[in-house]
Amino acid sequence: MTRKKNFVFLILFLALLQVTFLQYFRIFGIKPDLFLICVVISSLYFEVVYALAMSLLCGILKDTFSIGIFGINTFFFPILSFLVMKLSRKVDLDNTPVLCAAAFLVTFFYGIISRIAFSYMGMVIPFWAFLRISLLESLYTALIFPLVIRVFNKTAHL
């Protein structure tokens, strides 16, 4: 129970960090997606119902704090969480490089499905701009992932 409570506090802390402090660490206007990192972590380390609830919380928080179509993250984050849970049953995601690659792929896949959703809603993003943003955001998120995993492991043992 303490581990789950600490994870909720970690999500709230990372949400605060995402909207305040990370603004100063943008690279080409792009920052890592800490909410997607929380979705991947919850999918890997918690049971199905709790992981889906935490990914729903992350989606609500990201929709609340970001500009864009409200509800798109709330819709897609539980789906991504479910896909990561299915992937973790097929592929061994134990070491850090594989986890970073999984975080990269999840972030890039999220960029693809959000671009498709935006195009259906009439918000067309040029392909090369999308590719640059998605690749840089995915890379930045994958590079930050080991730090967040380390913080998660420290708070899980409190």
d(CA 76, CA 95): 26
Instruction: Provide the angle, in degrees to the nearest 10, between the axes of the packed helices 2-19 and 34-45.
Output: 170
pLDDT given at position 1 = 61
Average pLDDT, stretch 5-11? 87
pLDDT given at position 158 = 54
Contact by Cβ (8 Å): 39, 75: no
pLDDT tens-digit map of 40-51: 999 988 899 999
pLDDT tens-digit map of 77-134: 999 999 999 888 887 777 888 888 888 999 999 888 888 888 888 887 788 888 888 8
C-alpha separations of 130 from 104, 126, 153 in Å = 15, 6, 33
Listed in sequence order, the residues at least 6 apart from 128 whose beta carbon sits closer than 8 Å to its beta carbon are: none
CATH class assigned to 2-156: mainly alpha
CA dihedral 104, 148, 96, 2 (to 10 degrees): -120
Beta bridge partners of 27: 30
d(CA 25, CA 32): 9
Q: Considering the chain, what is the average pLDDT of its residues?
A: 87
The domain ranges of the chain are: 2-156
Average pLDDT, stretch 24-39? 88
pTM of the model: 0.88
Q: Where are the alpha helices (DSSP H) in 67-95?
A: 72-90
C-alpha separations of 3 from 46, 49, 54, 153 in Å = 10, 15, 13, 10
**And the tokens for 39?**
């979705």
